[in-house]
Structure 1
C-alpha cells in the first residue's frame, strides 16, 4: 500500500507544480506578490513543503494561523515585525473559525499588504478556502494568478482513504483527520468518476460521522453512522457493527446532555444501541471490548433510574472485570452498586460499596478526578442517611472540587444541591445560599435552565461528552444565539461598531437598575468581541473589571491569564499623578447648564474620607499602561470594560485615588488600539461628569456635544423584544411555552409603561420554570405575575433560614415607605426597628444583597441599604410587613416589662422567696419562647410531617431514637408556637424523650426537659434531683446540677448561655453552660 504521508515519491503533476511554485517565489523576491496554493491534504502539504525547503533558493518562513484568527494583515504584520523576510508561507486557513470575516478583512486591507510587505506571501488553502477567497475578496484575490495545485493521484487517494479507514477501526489514538479533508476527498472522487468499493465506502461514512460528531453536528453524524452500520450488518462484521453502534450511542448521549428536555428519549436510544453493541461484541467473542464498554451502559441505566437492571449489569461487569478489567473499571462497578443501594435505602451497604469504589479509583496511575468526585458524592449521601452529617459534608466538598461541570453538569449541580441542603439543615444559611447561586449559574451556562432570575446572564458553555474530548471554540453563530437570548442584538451591534471606530475611544453605558447592563457586557459584548475582526487588528482582548478594591491587581491578573504578561516598567508617572497639582479644572457640562442629566436620586458617599493613597501609588498601574502600549504596537486591540463603575466611588472616596484613576483612563484612551467602556446606573451618572470636569480629555476637547456622543443609554424591552427573548431562552433549554401564555406574560409585564423590565422578565420566567408552568390556564391558576413575583420574594426570605424569616421580611418592608419609594437606611436604622432580633440582621442583609433584592451603598461613616428595584416595592408592602413590625414592637415591650419584673424577682429570690422563684421561671420561660409562625396552615402541615418522620424513626431505626426525639420536639414547638398543640404531638414527644435513657447511658430517668433556644443543648431533669445538660449533636454530657429532691423546673436563658433550675429542696441554681460553673445559688 502506498502511504502518501510517508512516501518520498512525488507524482509528476505535483513535481511540475512544485517547480512552478519555486520559480514564482524566486521571481517575487524583494517585492510583494500574492501566490495561492491549492492543496486539500495536510500530509501532502507537509511533503511538498519539505521538498520546497530543499529546492528553493529563497529562505522560507511559515505562519500557522490559530483557529481564533480574525484578520490576516495584522497577523502577518505581527509575525514579521522588524525582521526582514524573503518569503512567507501562510498555513491553517482551513481551520480558522471566522474564516469569512478574515477573508473580508483581507479584502478591505488590500492596499496595506503591498505597502507593508516587500516579499511574496504564499497562501495555502483547500478547495473551499480558495473558492471563498475568490467570492469574498475579489480585489485582494485579483493580485494572485491561477492557484498552483497539488493533488493526490487516483491510486494515492484510494490508498489514503484505506489507510484512514484502517486507523479508525483499529486504534483511534493514531487516527487524525482535518475536518476539511473528507469533503474535499468526496468531491475529488465524484469529479474523477471514482466509485469506492462498498467496504471502503462504509468505512468512510463512519469517518464522516466521527467528524460531524466531533463538531457536535449530531443529526448529520447519526445519518452517516446509520449508513455505515447498514453495510456491516449485511456483511455480518460483528466487531465493526459494535464499534459503530458505540458511536451512535455516544452521539445520542451527547445530544441528551445538551438538550435536557429531550434527555429521556436520548437516553433510551443510547441504552438500546449500547445493548446491541455489547451483544455484537459478545457474539464475536470480543470480551475485551465488552469489558471496555459495558460500564457505558451502566451509566445510562443509572441516568434512566432502572435500578434493578443496573444491579444485574454491575454484578455481571464485576465478574468480567475480574479477568479483563482494571481497577478503574472495578471502581465504577462498585459505584453502580452503591447507587442502587442508596435508591433502595440500604445505607450501610451503599457506604461500603462507595468506599470500595473510591479506594479502587485511587489505585490507578492516572487519577480520574471526575469519577472520584462521583464516588465521594455517593459516599456522602450514604453517610448523610446514617446521621454522619459532618463527614458527609466533607465528602461533598471533595466531590465538588474534583468534579467539572462541563463533563456532567447534572452531576455537578446535584452535588451542589446536596451540599446546600446539608448546610441549610446545619443553619449555615450563607453557605447554602452561595451554593444556590452557583447552581443557578451552572444551569444557565449549560442550558439546563432558561431563566437566570435576579442574576446576570452567563456566557454559554458547551457540554463535553467525555474527558477525552475538547470543547469547540465558540462559533459566531452560537454567540449570536447568546446575544439574541439577552434581547440586545442591536445594542451589541452598535457597541461593536463604536469600538471599531477611532472617534469612540470611550463609551459610557448607562441605564436604570435591572435593565441588564452587566448581562449585555459579560454574556453579549465580551464573547462577540472575541470573534469579531476589526480593521488592522490582529486580535481582540476584552478585560472586564467589576470589583474595585484591588482593581489594578485584577487587571494584571487578567493580562497574565490571557497570555499577556504585564510589563515590568519602572515608570514613576503614577506617583506623579498621586501628587497632582490642584489646578482649576474646566467646568462640567452640568455646571455650564449645557447638559441635563437624570440625577434626581443622587449618590451617596463622602469625598473627604481619608484613604491610603500609597496603596494605589505602589500598585503597578504604570506596568498596566506599558503593557497596553505594547499590545497596541502588536496590533492587539484591548477593550477595558469597567462594569458597575459606581462601585469604584464607593470603595475609593478620597480625591487622590479618584484623580489617579481618572488620569489612568485619560492615558488609556490616548493609546491606539485601546478602548474603554464604563457601565453605571443612571442615578450615578454624575460620577462620570466629575471625571470629565476634573480631567482634560483630548477626545472631548471642551465640546459638550462630544460628551453626549460618549453616552450610550440602555433601556427596557419593547413588547416585541420581550417576546423574542422568551422564545430564544425557552428554545435553548427546551422549555416550551404556549404562545398564548407568552402574549399574556408580555402584556402583564408591560403594564401601564408599555415596557418590560429585563430583570422582572427573568424573575417571572424563573418562577414559571420552577413551577413547570407552560400553559396559559396554569399561569392564570397560579395567580399570574403578581403571585410569581411574590413567590420569588418568599424564596429569598426562606433562604435566610426559618428562624430569620421574620427579620428578612421586616427588613424588606423597612426599605420601603408609604409613598412606595425606596428610602436609604443604615444598619443602625434597621436594627432599631428589629429588636429583639437585631442580631440576625447581618446574615439577612448579606443574603438579600446577594439575591439581587437589596443594594449596599458604602459610605462614611457607615453604609446604607436600599431596595434595588422600584417595582418590588408594592409587592413587599402587600405582604403585610407592618404587622410583623408591630409584632416585633409588642415583643420588645413585653421583653422590657419581663426584664423589669425579673430584676425585682431576683431581689426577692435573695431573701428565699419560693413564690418569687416560681414566678421568675414562668416569666423567663415566656420571654424565651417568642417565635411565632405567620402561616398557621403551613406550620400545622410541617409539624404533622415531622411527627410522622419521628414515629417512623422510632419504629424502624432504633439507633436513630435521639434524632426522633429532636423531630418530636420540633413538631411540638411549632404547634405550641401557634397555640395549637395536639394530643398526638404531646404523646409522641413524651414517648421520644422517655426512650432517651436507653440510648444515652448516663441518663437514668426523665421527669422534665427543656431545649436551648439555639437547639444546641437539651436539659433533662430527673426525679432523683439531678439535672444533666446534653450537647445534642454529640450527645455528650456538658453539665450536671444536683438538688436534694426532685427537679421542679429547668429553663434556658434566651441567649442559651445559662440554665436555671428549681428543685423540691426550694433551691434556685443559675449555671453557665460553657464554663459549667454555678453563678447563683439560693434557698
Structure 2
C-alpha cells in the first residue's frame, strides 16, 4: 500500500505517547483515502483508538471531546472538520485553552485534516500547532488522474454532489506534479476550474476557464459536450449581466441570452438528448422568467413536462408544472394557470423535498383565483401554502404568500388576522435580511438561508456599534467577579433588541474560555419559576435530558444546574425585568425570587453561572430590595454598584450612519449618501445622539414609501412627517371604520404633560365614551381589536397587573408627538359633543311645549265630550276637522322653521307630523300630500347640515314602518333617497319625494 511508511510513523507516534498529551496532525486531502488509512491504522496499531466525528453544532474542540469521552481512553482521532461552519473560531478557542488539553487529555490526539484546514490551524491556533507533529499522506499521480476523471464524468452528467474543497486540492496537487496533460483531459480540467470558480462567485474567472474548454471542444463533433459547456457559459454570462439590485434586464443583452439558450437546446436536440433539454428547464426556466420570455418558457415547460411524465420523475414534473403555470399567469391566462396549478398540486406527494413546488403552486393558484375574483378560495389556497412554512433558501416565497394573504384578509375586514399576517411577514423579512428596518418591534436574531436553524448576531447590532456592547457583556460574563449584570437604559434605547438579537446569539455561537454557553431567557413573570423551567427544558441539550427528568422544585432546578456545569456555562437572562415588579407586587413573592437567585449564585458547584437582568432605568430603584436579602450578599457592593450596572445609551451619529448603511447594503432598498447624511442630522437634532427606536420608525416608513433620495425626503418635509405616517399606517391597519377610534385611543394613552400614563381598558372605554357615541357592544369589540393591534405592533405595551391589565405607550418619544398630532381631532369631537348637547336641549324644549299643548287639548276634549254627550257623530267630525287643522298648523310651522333657518326643528316637526297623518284612520292622499312635501323639504336640504341639526335628526321619533327608535339617517348623493337605521335591527330605504319605503 502507498503511504505505508507514513502510516507506520503515525502508529509508532501513537504507541510512544501513551499516558501523555500528544498532538498529531495527519494531513490528507482525500476523504476516501483518509477512510482507508484510518481502517489500516487500526489494524497495525496495538492500541485501541477512539474516533470522534465532529457535528456542525460543535462550538469548542475541548468541550466536544469532554462531552463524548469523559472516561479514560488510550488514543483519539478526530474527523469531520468539513462540516463545521466556523473553523477559525473553534481553532482560536482551542488555542486559548491549550493548557486544558495538556492537563486533562493524557493521550495522543490525532487530527485528520486537509491542506486548507491545516492553513486555518496555522492562522488561528499557531501556539497549539507548535506543540504537534505533522504527517503527510498523498495520492499517486495515476490515482489522482483517475479521481479527476471520475469527477469530470459526474459534473458533465449533472451529478453535482462533488466535494469542491477536495476537487480544488486535487487540481492543486496535479499542478505540483508538473507533468504534461492530454489536450482533452486538460480541456476538461479547465472545465472543472470554471465549475469551482463559478461556485465561488468568481464569474470572470469561471468564464475564462469555460472559454478555454470551449476552444478545444468546439473543434470536435461532440454536440453533447459542446451544449454542456455553452450551458455553463450562458449561465455565467447571464449572472454577470444581471443588474444588482434586480431591475428589468437590458433588452439587447436579454435577447442575446435567449439566442444562446435556443442554440444550446438545438445542440441537445441534434445530439438526441431530449432529457438534457427537459433538465435544462431548472436553470433556463428561471432565466426566461427573469427575462419575461413567457412564450419561450411555456414552450420549454411543456416539452419538459412530456419528457418527465414519461420518466415518472415527480420532482421534475413538479418543477415543470410550476413554470408552466407561471407562464400562463403572466400572459393573463388566469383560468388556465389555476387549472395547471391544481394539476401540479394533485400529482405532487407531500414530501419535504417537494415542499417548495407545492408552496409555489399554491401561491400561483391563489394569485389566479384573486384575478378571477374567487377571494375565499384564494385565502384557502394561501393558508395551505402558509402551513408549509419557511422553506430553506426561499424566505422570499413565504413573504409573497403572507403579503397576498394579508391583503385579502384586510379586504375581508378581518383586520386582526390581516395584521398578524403582516407582522409575520415583516419579521421574516428582517431575520433573512430582506428588509432593512423593522419599525417599533424588537429585533430578532438573523438567519442564514443556507442553515435556517443557525442564528447569528443581527446585522443591526453589529453595524450600530452595539457589537461593542455585546463583546463587553461577553467579557463580563467570563469574569469571576461579575456574577450578576444589570443592563439598564431609557425606553426605546434597544435593550431587548440587544439581548435577543445580539447577546443571546453570541452566547449560543461563541464559547467563553473552554466552556460553551447555555442561555436561558424569560420575559413573562406571572409564574416565573414555571416559565424558567420551561425555557431550560427547551434549550437543554439532548445528552442532558433524561427520561425521569424532573424540575418540580427549586432544589431540583439547582441540582440540574450543577449537572449542566460539567459541560456548559448557564446564563439566566431576565428580559424586561420591570414587569416582574408589576406582577409580583407583594414583598413575599419578590423575596422568594431573589432568595432563589442568591442560592443559585452562592452554590459552590455552579461557579460559572451568570445572571443578567435587563430593565428600564426608571425601575432600577426597585432592585434595592434584594440588597436586604442575605443570599444576595455575593454581589458585594450592592446591586446598583458600578460593578453590576451596565448602561445602554443612544447611538452616536457615526454609529447611526454606519447602521443605516449596513442595514440597506444587503437589500434592494438603497439610500443615496446625501439622504443618509441628512437623515442622521435630523435624527440627532440638538441632543447629538440618535434614539434607536426613532431610527427604526423613520427608516421603516422610508422603506414603506420607497424614498431613496434626498429630494424625495425633502418633498415630504421632515422626520416628524415620517413618524406621523408610520403611526398612520398602524392606525390604517385597524380598518377604516376604526380609524377615529384608533386615533383617539393613542391620544388617551398620553396626558397633558406629554407623558405615558398607565391606563386600564375600563379607563380607556370611559375616555372614548366621553367623545364617541357608539353601540356599547360594537365599541367594546372594536376597542379590543385596536388594542391588540397596537400591542402587537409594538406601539403599546400590555402590563399584566393585578387586579386588571394596564396599557401604556411603548416609548416616551411618541407621547408628546401623538398628543400634538391628535389634539385637533379631540377638540373637534369635543365641539361636536357640545353641539349635540345644544341640539338635545332644543329638542327637550320642543317636547315640553308639545306636552303642555297635549294636556290643554285633553282638557278641552273632555269638556267637549261632557257637554255634547248626545252629539257623538258631530263631535267625531269636529275632532277630525280639529286634528286636520292642527296638522295643517304644524305643517305650516315646519315650513316657517325651515324658512327661518331652523332646519333641525323643521325636520323634527315634519317627521312627527308625517307619522301622525299616516296613523290617522281618516288619512287620504290629499291630507298626506302637504305633510309629505314639508318632510321632503326638511330632509332634502340636510345633506350638508350642521352637526347639531344632524344630531337632532338622529334623535327624532320612529319613522313609520320601523318597530323601534331610529338611531341613524343618511341621504343618497342625489338627495332623492333616505336610509334609516333602527334599533329593530332593520334598515329602510325611503323615497324622499313620496315618503314611501323602497326597500328594507
Q: Give me the TM-score of the superposition, normalised by structure 2.
A: 0.78
SS class of match (1:461): strand
Structure 1 counterpart of 2:532, from 546, 549, 552? 552
Change in 2 beyond 3 A, CA 1:521/1:243:
farther
Structure 2 counterpart of 1:533, from 497, 508, 511? 511
- Establish whether residue 642 from structure 1 lines up as the match of residue 556 from structure 2: no
Pairwise CA distance, 1:198: 4.3
CA distance in 2, matches of 1:727, 1:1048: 59
Q: Deviations over 1:53-92 (max 9, x none)?
A: 11111111111223443333332233320x2211111223
Partner of 2:170: 185
Q: Deviations over 1:106-132 (max 9, x none)?
A: 333333323222222222222333344
CA distance in 2, matches of 1:725, 1:553: 37
CA distance in 2, matches of 1:376, 1:666: 55
Equivalent residues of 1:206, 1:228 under 8 A apart: yes
SS class of match (1:35): strand
CA distance in 1, matches of 2:708, 2:404: 28
Pairwise CA distance, 1:572: 6.4
Partner of 1:744: 678
Pairwise CA distance, 1:819: 2.8
Structure 2 counterpart of 1:85, from 73, 89, 103? 73
Structure 1 counterpart of 2:615, from 671, 675, 680? 680
Q: Deviations over 1:891-945 (max 9, x none)?
A: 587399669969979999xx9999899999977999xxxxxxxxxxxxxxxxxxx
SS class of match (1:697): helix
Pairwise CA distance, 1:295: 5.4
- Establish whether residue 1057 from structure 1 lines up as the match of residue 985 from structure 2: yes
Pairwise CA distance, 1:794: 1.3
CA distance in 2, matches of 1:313, 1:452: 41
SS class of match (1:866): strand
Partner of 1:393: 379
- Establish whether residue 356 from structure 1 lines up as the match of residue 343 from structure 2: yes
The equivalences for 1:660-679 within 5 A come to: 660-669=592-601, 670=603, 671-679=606-614
Partner of 1:156: 143
Partner of 2:31: 42
SS class of match (1:817): coil
CA distance in 2, matches of 1:239, 1:691: 78
CA distance in 2, matches of 1:217, 1:565: 46
Change in 2 beyond 3 A, CA 1:753/1:152:
same
Equivalent residues of 2:278, 2:303 under 8 A apart: no
Equivalent residues of 2:26, 2:111 under 8 A apart: yes
- Establish whether residue 821 from structure 1 lines up as the match of residue 755 from structure 2: yes
CA distance in 1, matches of 2:431, 2:333: 35
Partner of 1:542: 519
Equivalent residues of 2:437, 2:696 under 8 A apart: yes
CA distance in 2, matches of 1:205, 1:490: 46
Equivalent residues of 2:597, 2:632 under 8 A apart: no
- Establish whether residue 633 from structure 1 lines up as the match of residue 611 from structure 2: no
Partner of 2:696: 762
The structure where helix makes up a greater share of residues is 2
Partner of 1:883: 825
Pairwise CA distance, 1:244: 5.2
Partner of 2:795: 853
SS class of match (2:481): coil
Structure 2 counterpart of 1:104, from 80, 92, 112? 92
The equivalences for 1:94-133 within 5 A come to: 95-133=83-121
The equivalences for 1:18-37 within 5 A come to: 18-37=7-26
Q: Which structure's CA Rg is the greater one?
A: 2
Pairwise CA distance, 1:802: 0.5
Partner of 2:4: 15
Q: Deviations over 1:355-392 (max 9, x none)?
A: 22322335x88872222222222222333344433222
Partner of 1:1042: none
Pairwise CA distance, 1:149: 1.9
SS class of match (2:280): helix
Change in 2 beyond 3 A, CA 1:293/1:885:
farther
Partner of 1:796: 730
Partner of 2:277: 290
Aligned length: 889
Structure 2 counterpart of 1:830, from 759, 764, 773? 764
Tell me which moved more, 650-659 or 640-649. 650-659
Equivalent residues of 2:755, 2:812 under 8 A apart: yes
Pairwise CA distance, 1:51: 0.8
Change in 2 beyond 3 A, CA 1:508/1:61:
same
SS class of match (2:614): strand
Change in 2 beyond 3 A, CA 1:128/1:379:
closer
Partner of 2:470: 492
CA distance in 1, matches of 2:454, 2:991: 76
CA distance in 1, matches of 2:327, 2:152: 41
Pairwise CA distance, 1:23: 1.5
Q: Deviations over 1:548-603 (max 9, x none)?
A: 456235414522587753784557653xxxxxxxxxxxxxxxxxxxxxxxxxxxxx
CA distance in 1, matches of 2:348, 2:442: 38
Pairwise CA distance, 1:1057: 3.1
Equivalent residues of 1:726, 1:742 under 8 A apart: yes
CA distance in 2, matches of 1:197, 1:1014: 95
Q: Deviations over 1:120-166 (max 9, x none)?
A: 22222223333444554444334334x12211122222222222222
Pairwise CA distance, 1:341: 4.8
- C-alpha RMSD of the superposition: 4.5
Pairwise CA distance, 1:699: 3.4
SS class of match (1:17): helix
Change in 2 beyond 3 A, CA 1:20/1:760:
same
CA distance in 2, matches of 1:698, 1:226: 74
Unaligned runs of 5+ in 1: 1-9, 465-469, 575-621, 927-974, 981-1007, 1021-1046, 1074-1083
Pairwise CA distance, 1:801: 0.7
Equivalent residues of 1:69, 1:98 under 8 A apart: no
CA distance in 2, matches of 1:543, 1:415: 33
SS class of match (1:644): coil
Pairwise CA distance, 1:437: 1.1
Equivalent residues of 2:328, 2:337 under 8 A apart: yes
Equivalent residues of 1:259, 1:732 under 8 A apart: no
SS class of match (1:708): coil
Change in 2 beyond 3 A, CA 1:525/1:1050:
closer
SS class of match (1:683): helix
Equivalent residues of 1:30, 1:118 under 8 A apart: yes
The equivalences for 1:941-960 within 5 A come to: none
Change in 2 beyond 3 A, CA 1:509/1:24:
same
Q: Give me the TM-score of the superposition, normalised by structure 1.
A: 0.73
The equivalences for 1:612-1011 within 5 A come to: 624-634=557-567, 636-653=568-585, 655-669=587-601, 670=603, 671-694=606-629, 696-697=631-632, 699-701=634-636, 703-704=637-638, 707-835=641-769, 836-837=773-774, 838-839=779-780, 840-887=782-829, 890-891=832-833, 894=836
SS class of match (2:27): strand
Structure 2 counterpart of 1:511, from 465, 489, 496? 489
Pairwise CA distance, 1:308: 4.3
SS class of match (2:610): strand
CA distance in 2, matches of 1:96, 1:139: 21
Change in 2 beyond 3 A, CA 1:445/1:20:
same
CA distance in 2, matches of 1:665, 1:264: 61
CA distance in 2, matches of 1:924, 1:659: 71
Q: Deviations over 1:499-528 (max 9, x none)?
A: 222222322221112112222222222333
Equivalent residues of 2:484, 2:644 under 8 A apart: yes
Equivalent residues of 1:810, 1:885 under 8 A apart: no
Change in 2 beyond 3 A, CA 1:481/1:410:
closer
Unaligned runs of 5+ in 2: 859-879, 895-903, 912-940, 947-960
CA distance in 1, matches of 2:306, 2:585: 70
Equivalent residues of 1:921, 1:1051 under 8 A apart: no
